[in-house]
Structure 1
């Protein structure tokens, strides 16, 4: 025997969203809600009215009625986006993540090369300074002897 349909509704203050389904969890899923709207008191079960009739006419589909916008207009709500990215989007995300990781690795390699070049230049500078100091000391001593 099929489970009996119940009608559930909640409002964001601008629209009332109503769905006919067999349980509260299925209503939350139809609304695309990750939060338990029933526990917070935002959602409730309906027992009559135009939203009740419209929801029973199309079970499982969310019916939307304007409260502050398009007041009283009843129609099917736009379907919510599926949870998680599509296959194409997931592939694009994976490709971009791989490209980002590759860029980071190339940057680390370039920076390591700069560090090696800088270390080599620092070593060459120290050697040049040491040679200069030794040569200057020797020439200064030779100059002192020549003046004496």
Structure 2
């Protein structure tokens, strides 16, 4: 969607931005995940996004496997856009981004809260260490070389 502007990056964040990094992309996914939007008209009405941009985003999501196009009417021929497992897996990222926005990009109370649909209790997204548990201090999070790093990109040890 962004074009291949991150080709030199060996980074999953850059790869994710290639698919969902356009301005309207996360808002479309948000509405599909949390507001039940499935039809082109739902997204257009809720977001007010230009029709050419909306079409490009939805087509890109289908191509990337984030959504699937499903015909729900023969006459007239109409389609809805349904999230796939890959698309639904974006929910924790949206919850985390919402929490960041609530803390750093607003002066008031959160306009949206997330709750567990089974019991109604609030949902949060947290960094968790498999050994120590919850990590509250972001300075304790470091990036380390993973198994997918090409050998030629691994920095020499000092």
Higher helix fraction (1 or 2): 1
TM-score, normalized by the shorter chain, greater than 0.5:
no
TM-score scaled by length of structure 2: 0.23
Larger Rg, first or second structure (1 or 2) = 1
TM-score scaled by length of structure 1: 0.24
Higher strand fraction (1 or 2): 1
